[in-house]
Amino acid sequence: MHLRIASDANAESGVGQVVDEISGPIRKYFVPRDYGETLLGIAIVLMCRNPELNFVRRLRFARKEKTIFMDVMLDLEQMRHANHQHRKRIIVGQLIVEVPLVLKKYSVAGFDEVRFLEDMNNWLTNMG
């Protein structure tokens, strides 16, 4: 399973530093894991931009690539005023809430969603 986390965020949000810290380790953790052949990847973009720009959350299941692409929207003001540890807790909390909702929306047959979510939640909880 390929689990990728990236960001599209204002520099002052500090989201980039959290992504730098967790993206490599979470990718290494999930690469050897197998949750079925019908979903091979999940790509998450943490969006933290000025709300006046009216960014809209993007969700897409690319069947040929067997990958789900999703944005997780973060509040810029909240992130600006948080320290690094608090930002990390906010991001972990959002991932734990948002990823299952998106997976349920697409309900990919043959994908062991329960085991994947258990592994993801355990990894995120223990690293944070």
Going from the first residue of the chain to its last (128 residues), give the mean pLDDT of each consecutive group of 10, the final group possibly shorter: 96 96 96 96 96 91 97 97 96 97 93 97 86
Per-residue confidence (pLDDT) for residue 39, from 0 to 100: 96
Per-residue confidence (pLDDT) for residue 52, from 0 to 100: 86
Cα 34 from chain centre: 18
Per-residue confidence (pLDDT) for residue 128, from 0 to 100: 44
Quote the pTM value.
0.93
What is d(CA 26, CA 30) in angstroms, rounded to the nearest whole number?
6
